[in-house]
Structure 1
């Protein structure tokens, strides 16, 4: 049995993705910085018939993130799908004129260094097996800079560039890298942005592949 590792898993999108991939036979490693939350989520998923386990890791603690992914691979099965979708800190959502150098550095650590740490951990196994998918989930500022959320805009742009370069470099190795841009509130009432609808999009990106970037609704 292969595994989807969901970094930044919560009761909304993370849970919906775990259920969608679980229906296709994947185990789910749900990873976030609060152990009680991921343990509760894993228990709920198990009640729905998904083989799941929770792992505690903060994306800015690189070694802890590596350890969580190693444990998931060992305990649940090879990681075939990696989803990187942690929710940005409020400190990254300040107007550009209120954003300090330190704010930008923290945002880059969160979005770029965190995603790169996760990718570099799972990628050798994917290339060795000759299959895998890396899914990046970002807000609208990944595609269109937004001066009201400067830290995230800069960091998402860096994450996007890294992901697109990986997409091109790994195409011949049967490892797909895709980005889902969600320019709206997940679960905010618009059916396009409902967790189950987004989970279906992510399943399609994994199963059918295609271009690097998929945008929900109007870009």
Structure 2
């Protein structure tokens, strides 16, 4: 059995994606800072007949993040799909004039170095098998700078560029790197932004293996 690893798993989109892929036959590794959180989510999936397990890691702790992804592959099967979607922290959401150098550095660790660490852990296996998917989930500031959320906007732009370069480099090897941009509030009442709808979108992106960037509200090509 192959595995989807959801980095930044929570009760909304992370759990919905885990459930969607789990019902398609994937085992599920749920990663977040709190072991209690991912144990609870894994328990819910297990009761639905999905093989799931939780792992605690802060995405800014690169050694621990790499370790838990390695343990997940050993416990559950090789990671064929990696979703990176941790929720940005409040200190990354300040205006550009109020954002400090340290906060920019932390946002970079969170959204760029965290992604790079996770990819470095799972990519060798994907390349060896000749298949795999990396799913990056971002808000609209990844493509349109927003001075009201300067840390996230700056770091998301870097994550977006890194993902685009990986997409171009890895597509010939059968590894698909894709970004889903969500320009609205998840679970805010619009059915397009319901967690289950977004999870379906991510499944379609994984299966379709098309363009790098998809924005909710646009048609997948």
Same-fold call, TM cutoff 0.5 = yes
> Moved runs in structure 1, 4+ residues, more than 4 A?
none
Aligned to 1:116: 116
Q: Give the superposition deviation at 1:50.
A: 1.0
Instruction: Provide the aligned length of Structure 1 versus Structure 2.
Output: 218
Cα distance in 2 for residues equivalent to 1:7 and 1:105: 20
1:25-54 per-position Cα deviation (integer Å, ceiling 9, x unaligned): 000000000000000000001111111000
1:23-172 superposed matches below 5 A: 23-172=23-172
Contact preservation (8 Å) 1:18, 1:50: no
Instruction: Tell me if 1:197 matches 2:197.
Output: yes
The TM-score normalised by the length of structure 1 is 0.98
Q: Give the superposition deviation at 1:101.
A: 1.1
| Aligned alpha-carbon RMSD (Å) | 0.7
Q: Give the superposition deviation at 1:60.
A: 0.3
1:51-100 per-position Cα deviation (integer Å, ceiling 9, x unaligned): 10000000000011011101100000010000000000000000111111
Cα distance in 2 for residues equivalent to 1:48 and 1:182: 28
Q: Give the superposition deviation at 1:164.
A: 0.1
Cα distance in 2 for residues equivalent to 1:36 and 1:22: 20
Q: Give the superposition deviation at 1:103.
A: 1.1
Cα distance in 1 for residues equivalent to 2:117 and 2:123: 10
1:179-219 per-position Cα deviation (integer Å, ceiling 9, x unaligned): 0000111111111100000000000010111100000026x
Contact preservation (8 Å) 1:69, 1:122: yes
Cα distance in 2 for residues equivalent to 1:125 and 1:95: 40
Cα distance in 1 for residues equivalent to 2:100 and 2:60: 19
Cα distance in 1 for residues equivalent to 2:197 and 2:8: 18
Cα distance in 2 for residues equivalent to 1:92 and 1:35: 23
SS of aligned partner of 1:97: coil
